[in-house]
Amino acid sequence: QVKLMESGGGSVQAGGSLRLSCAAPKYIYDNYCMGWFRQAPGKEREGVANIDHDGIKTYADSVKSRFTISRDNARNTLELQMSSLKPEDTAMYFCAARSRGWACSIRQPDARLDNYSGQGTQVTVSL
């Protein structure tokens, strides 16, 4: 089964930065909407940011102005630059590829809508 490969998680203090990467096979990278989701212990999965085929980026209100999603077309990699991290950003972060259309939305966090996803990378932010 094809999996996306996330990397870049870790532990940082509040106010710090991390950069997450998600490597995908080219046929997935080129043909699917890609985004980041996260899930903290005891909480529901939530959308963080995504970027559609037109390059339009969408962010959750909780991360706007702090996180930046981007595509590295040379490496078929989706990236998430996270700055000014807060303890409430602590979660497992997942990269997901979805079909175009209504499923391409961070407001649809249901993992069953993921055509492809990764194992996740842990982000822990401490005070």
pLDDT in tens, 69-127: 999 999 999 999 999 999 999 999 999 999 888 889 999 999 999 999 999 999 999 99
Q: Give 93: exposed, middle or buried? Use CB within 10 Å, 0-12, 13-18, 19+.
A: buried
Instruction: Return the pLDDT at 88.
Output: 97
Question: Which band of pLDDT confidence, cut at 50, 70 and 90, is reported for residue 17?
Answer: very high
Instruction: Return the pLDDT at 55.
Output: 87
Quick one: tokens of 43?
């909480």
Region 48-53: mean pLDDT is: 91
Q: How many CB atoms lie within 10 A of CB 78?
A: 26
Quick one: tokens of 50?
């995504």
Quick one: tokens of 56?
């339009």
Instruction: Return the pLDDT at 50.
Output: 95
Instruction: Return the pLDDT at 42.
Output: 95
- Are the CB atoms for 12 and 125 separated by under 8 Å? yes
CA–CA separation, 118 and 35 (whole Å): 11
